[in-house]
Every structure is written in C-alpha cells, then in structure tokens.
Amino acid sequence: MPYSGRLVNRNIENNHYLCGLKFKYKVEKEMQLQQTLRKNYLFEGKGLHTGKVAKMIVGPAPADTGIVFRRTDLGEGMQVEALAENVSNTARSTTISKGEASVSTIEHILSALTGMGVDNAYIDIDNVEVPILDGSAKPYIDAIWADGFVQQEAPRRYIELKEAVEIVNEEKGSRVRIEPAEEFSYDIKVDFNSRVLGVQHAVWNPETVYAEQIGTCRTFVFFHELEFLFSNGLVKGGDVDNAIVIVEHPVTKEQVENMSRLFNIPALEVREDGYLSNLQLRFKNECARHKLLDLIGDLRLCGGFLKAKVTAEKAGHGINTTAAKAVRQTL
C-alpha cells in the first residue's frame, strides 16, 4: 500500500485516522491487514545514556513477527522480542532483555512504528542502546514515511480488553488506566509541579496525526537533573540538539558556562521562558507530547495495537511497562 505524504487505500469512500496516519477505507467494516516496511533503513548515532555509537537497521519482517530487536554484535540468534515480559530496566528509559541480549532506550522507535501503523519489523543493532538521534521519533518518520508500507496477507491483531486495567503508584501520584473502547485514544496529564511547564495535557486519537503532532516532540530534562546525571556519568550521549533543558531554579553564570563546556557549545544562556537556549519549542506543550510519545512506545510492549482508552497521569517508563505487563496477563 504505497503512499506519498498522507495517503491511501484504493477503496476511497471515507477518511479515517489509523495509528496517526491518514488512511482511506471502505465505510463497511473490512478486515485490516498487517503491514511491514518496504525496505531497510539505517540509523546511526550515540545512545543518550551510554554515549556508545550504534548502527541500527530497521527493516521488513514476515507477518505475525511483531517487533524484534536483534543484537548483531553478539552473534546469530541473539534477539529479544518487544514484549512487556522482556522488560528488565526502566530507569530513565525502557530496556528489554532476553538471555545475553539487551537493548535500551527502545521507546522512541517503538512509538514511531506504532504511530506509522507498522505491525512487523526487525531491528538489527550492533550495540546496547538505540541512538537518541534528535530526541524524538521524527528521524524515523522522515526516513520511512515517504516510501510507504507493504500490506501482508494476515489480519491485524488488535488488543481488546474485556475489563479495565489500572496501575497506580500512590507515592508518586502516577496512574495509567487502560479500558475497553471501540477505538483507540490516549490522554496524558503531565504535572512536575513546575513553574516553567505548569500542568500540560496531550492526546492521541483518530483525529490526531501522529507524524506531525506527536512524533516530532523531543525528550526533555531539568537543568538540575542534568548536572547530577553528567556528574554521575548517567547521560553520556546527550547534547542540546536532542534534549529540551528546563531551568526550573535559579542558576549561576558559572553553572551555565559549565553546561556549555559539557555540551561543547559556546554561549548557552537561560531564556526568559525558563528554557536553556538552543532549541525553539515545536509546541507549547511539547514536553507533554513527548511523554505521550513515550507512553505509546512503552504500551507497544503489549504486543500489538491497543483498541482501548488510555488515560495517564504523571506517567513514566516504570508504570507504563507495568501496565503493559498487566494487559499481557489478560490475553
């Protein structure tokens, strides 16, 4: 089913948004088919947390494969399926592991593939961490979208719940609820008690174009967290090209100059709106939209496309993947 820009199916009778891309389909209900990529796509760059350079090839896979990561540096057969039961770590990103094979910071590529409606893909990577690229899913969308996808002779497997699943972390005030619905919808509320961010909302539903309104939104970090992460060697691949930096508390000129040295970028400064200079926000609520991007990627670990209503507050990788595990247990 090739397309250019926002295309379609040849059966053009009505417009509908499926997984954030604009598809046209018959008004009468017909079976949705699985789809995969048309060719291989190479991405290369540093991992956000490890700083290690990785080459990653995202390519076609047979029907009913799902999303599978393959560690090419570890030898043949070293692979891990993108499923919630394989989650091994959720500290600042999502890591999946199986045997000796681990892959971290998988949420952006999973989100991109979900947002573009890809059922099956192999992801070959020669290191432990997915490249951060620009901190969003945009590089994947820009590379893959124009070529379109290949329909496969197998029905798409939607994940439909019989009853609601809800995970609550009272200590953090976070919650993820997934409940039965006729179509998918995601609604996230972000509240860091921040004077800069305030309280932000973001949504993904059949009226939202993922590629334009969610996939382009970059990761973010607070200035005071960044200092801690750098000093403890926890963010070796970050720079001001792939992260929005929020300056919540007053900082000294020396602190900003030190950050300039760490990023190897001269003349950084704190803007009046409370962000570190370097990037212009793509949306006023870009940070909430990025948390939504992460949520979509983490919930792909349910094993397919959710046909459900998802609501989340103060969500993060830990509670997202716990919710995905709970859904898997109902299947």
Indicate which residues carry an active-site annotation: 317
8 A C-beta contact, residue 175 and residue 167: yes
CA 298/CA 11 separation, integer angstroms = 33
Neighbour tally for 196: CB within 10 Å: 15
Q: Which residues have CB under 8 Å from 288's CB, separation 6+?
A: 188, 189, 190, 200, 201, 202
The residue type found at 243 is A
The three-class DSSP label of residue 111 is helix
CA 106/CA 114 separation, integer angstroms = 12
| DSSP letter (8 states) at residue 14 | E
Strand partners, 70: 79, 124
Choose among 300, 33, 294: nearest CA to 174.
Answer: 294
The residue type found at 267 is A
Backbone CA torsion sign across 226, 229, 233, 234: negative
Count Cα atoms within 13 angstroms, Cβ side, for 262.
20
Backbone CA torsion sign across 183, 209, 58, 60: positive
8 A C-beta contact, residue 121 and residue 59: yes
Neighbour tally for 185: CB within 10 Å: 18
CA 251/CA 247 separation, integer angstroms = 8
C-alpha pair distances (Å), 157 with each of 5, 34, 63, 278 = 25, 8, 11, 42
